[in-house]
Structure formats: C-alpha cells, structure tokens
Amino acid sequence: MRDYSSSGAFSCSFSPDGTKLAIAYECMGPMVRVVDVNNGNILWESQTPDLCLYSVQFSSNGQYIAIAEELGHLVVVDMTIPDTVYNINTSSGGLFGVDFSASGDKIYTGCADGTIRIYETTTGTLEHIIPAAHSNSVLSIDVSSTDHYLVSGGKDNMVKVWDLTNNYQLVYAWMDAMDDVKAVKFTPDENRIITTSIDDNIYTYWMPTGSLDTILTFHSADVNAVDISADGSFAVTGANDQTAVMFNLHNYDSITTFTNLWQTRVYGVAISPDMTKLATANHIGFVILYDIHTLVGTENYVQGSLNIYPNPATDYLMISGLQNTAGYEILDMNGKVVQSGNTANYLGLNSFPGGMYILHIGSSFSRFIRQ
C-alpha cells in the first residue's frame, strides 16, 4: 500500500464488507484514517489529539469505529456522517484494547488500571466495569462470535476468559506466557483462543477443556498482533522480528513467512472478511496490503470457498462449493481418519458418535459438530 503517516501504525481493521481499512497511528497529525481498499484513497481522517492510538475496530454492521487512546480516551466514529460522535475520558489511565460485541451494541475496553470497561455503543454510556480484571494493564481483548465470552490478555502475563452471559464470571485464567500478552483472538467457532506474547511465542488454548493446546515458535521477537480468517482455517501474526507468519489452524503448520518491505516491526495485522487480502501495519507508518493468493500460491492457500451445513449436524452433512466429485477425509480431534471416500455434496453421519470432527477436502479444513 503506502505510507499514510510519518509515525508508527499500531493497528488496522477491515470493515465488514471488506471495502475499507481503518488505521490507528502512534502520533503526529491525524490519528485515524479510513482508506478505500481498492485504490488506497483516504476516505476520512480524524482530528484527534497528538497521542498514541493503540487499537481500532469496526462494528459488525460497519457503522461505527472504536479507537483506544493512550491516556484513556475512547473515541467512537460514526461512518455514516462520518465524524466523531463522542470522545470519552474513561479515567482509567490509558486504553490498550477495544472490541465491539458481535451484535454491535456494546464496546469493550482494556484499561491501564487493570479494569475492563463496557460502554453502550450509540450513547457512550458506561454499562459495567470488571474491577481488577488483571493485576496490571489489560493489553488486548476479543469478544467471541456469539457474544458468549470475552478473552483478555494482560501485562501480568495472564490470559483470562469471562462469561458475558453469566454476570461476567471468570471462566479460565492461564499464565503460560513468560511476559506481556499482546494479542488475543477467538476462532469463529469459539473452540480455541490464539494469544501472542512479547516472549516471542504464540499460545493456543482449547476452550472446551480449558487447557493449553500448543505453543508455537514462529517468531524470534515480540509477537504483537494476531488475526484469524473468517472460516477459522488459518491465522496471521506480526512481530518485532520484521515478519508476518501465516499458519494453518488445523495442524499448526506454517503456510508462509515473509518480511515486510521496509524490514521493520509489524504492529498490526488484519485479514479481509473474504480472506483474499492481508493488511500489515508497521512502526514507521506504512500499511501494506497483500493479495493472499499471490502471497502464498494457490496450492498452499487454505481455501475458504467450501461451505458445510447444517452445523451442528445430525444424520448428514451437505457441502456447497464443489465443482466436481472430490476425495475427502473426516478426522476426529486427535487427527485420526474415521471416514474417507469421494463425494459431490453429501455425507452420511449415521455411524458417527456425537462430537467434533474435521472435514478435509483438498486444502480446505472445516470443523463440524455431530450431535
């Protein structure tokens, strides 16, 4: 893409329709810019104070943008105007993470005083505070796709999961990272959480059991950011070792590793909703937009063109997106092949016990539940 600022770009986020990219900057000049993904033109830019903005997110309907500011201000922009609709001083000492509820009616913020604060989107009304959520700054937060859970990562090296349907009850608390937890992200099916740390590692957790799944060592310096594809098949991380890594979430194999053109730290990563584009933001203000098919090659690309339904399934599973009959495998969660063959669009499941399985067709891996 191009340099939109003379300062660092800390965070970037695609709009739900994939046509816009919001970018949050470190300092100097306009702090937030929204650009047209197709031509790189600036569609809107803020006039916020010259302070660091650590996180930016679109609401699920694309109307609002929420921004976390270093001194504790929550800035919300209505893109239908477009203009800032409110700028709230949260009196929390600083904001590091921000995310919308899946429904878009709430904004969750991770604060320097260790609290998590929840605001009503349209009015900015403070709805709830989780006090002492962490013993130090809350650096990152993410809301699950059904608004059931919230995950937070802190400067106290902790990852915590909160039940949003049960009075913000703490569900899990993990302390496997040896240093600050910089980014946290649910997979779309809510079964896993991918987290990154400045101890150079990526940690993945299995939600059904509350256990550590694996530790990945793709980077050699602070891992600052993570994003997950809309179908949950792959993830991308960015780090201070100047690289971004794309890896398969079925078997955790690396798909590709690449160094950004300016050989500088990668602060933010974002995958477009249609999984065709990858944006990376770096510490000298460049935002680079990659075509994923070109970046990794069609043979290695984890495809998202196949859809399966119903999911959860009972007696059968339908597959859309196949052009011809294709070979398939169904694996259990231990990686054992429990059924294989050829299919055009239908799989019978009568012989399967209840549980979670993986359908493997070509380079596509899709999780489904047999009830």
Q: What is the tens place of the pLDDT at every residue in 126-151?
A: 999 999 999 999 999 999 999 999 99
Question: In the predicted model, is pLDDT for residue 77 greater than 90?
Answer: yes
4 pLDDT above the threshold of 60: no
Whether the predicted model's global pTM rises above the 0.85 cut? no
CATH architecture of the domain with residue range 307-370: Sandwich (2.60)
Could you tell me the CA-to-CA distances from 214 to 110, 194, 267 in Å, in that order? Answer: 25, 10, 23
Structure tokens at 243: 């690289």
Quickly state the pLDDT bin for 283 (edges 50, 70, 90): confident
Mean pLDDT across the stretch 235-248?
A: 96
Q: Do residues 225 and 213 touch, judged by C-beta distance below 8 A?
A: no
Reply yes or no on whether the pLDDT at 225 is more than 90: yes
Q: For residue 201, is pLDDT > 60?
A: yes
Instruction: Answer whether residue 50 shows pLDDT above 70.
Output: no
Of the spans 142-151, 274-283, 314-323, 357-366, which averages the highest pLDDT?
A: 142-151
Q: What is the mean pLDDT of residues 26-44?
A: 82
Give me the chain's average pLDDT, please. Answer: 89
CA separation for the pair 228, 193 (Å, rounded): 10
Q: Given a cut of 50, is residue 35 above it in pLDDT?
A: yes
Q: Which CATH architecture has domain 2-296?
A: 7 Propeller (2.130)
Reported as a pLDDT band with limits 50, 70 and 90, residue 363 is low
- Residues whose CB falls within 8 Å of the CB of residue 51, separated by 6 or more in sequence, listed in order: 27, 31, 69, 70, 71, 73
Q: At residue 160, does pLDDT exceed 80? A: yes
Say yes or no to pLDDT of 208 above 70. yes
For residues 71 and 51, the answer to whether their CB atoms sit within 8 Å is yes
pLDDT at 171 over 90: yes
CA-CA-CA-CA dihedral for 59, 277, 242, 75, to nearest 10: -20
Residue spans of the domains in the chain: they are 2-296, 307-370
Q: What is the pLDDT of residues 292-346, one digit of tens each?
A: 888 776 434 334 457 788 888 888 888 877 767 778 888 876 667 888 888 878 8
Residues above pLDDT 90, as percent of the chain: 62
Beta-strand relationship, 307-309 and 286-291: unpaired
Q: Examine the pLDDT at 271 and tell me if it is beyond 50.
A: yes
pLDDT of residue 65: 97
Residue 285 has what pLDDT? 80
CA-based end-to-end distance of the chain: 46
- Secondary structure (DSSP) of 8-60: -EEEEEE-TTSSEEEEEESSSS-SEEEEETTT--EEEE----SS-EEEEEE-T
132 versus 6: the higher-pLDDT residue is: 132
CA quadruple 29, 34, 40, 43: dihedral sign: negative
- In the prediction, which pLDDT does 103 show? 95
Q: In what order do the strands lie in the sheet with 337-343?
A: 337-343, 326-332, 355-361, 364-370
Of 186, 124, 121, the closest CA to residue 153 belongs to 186
Structure tokens at 317: 């599973």
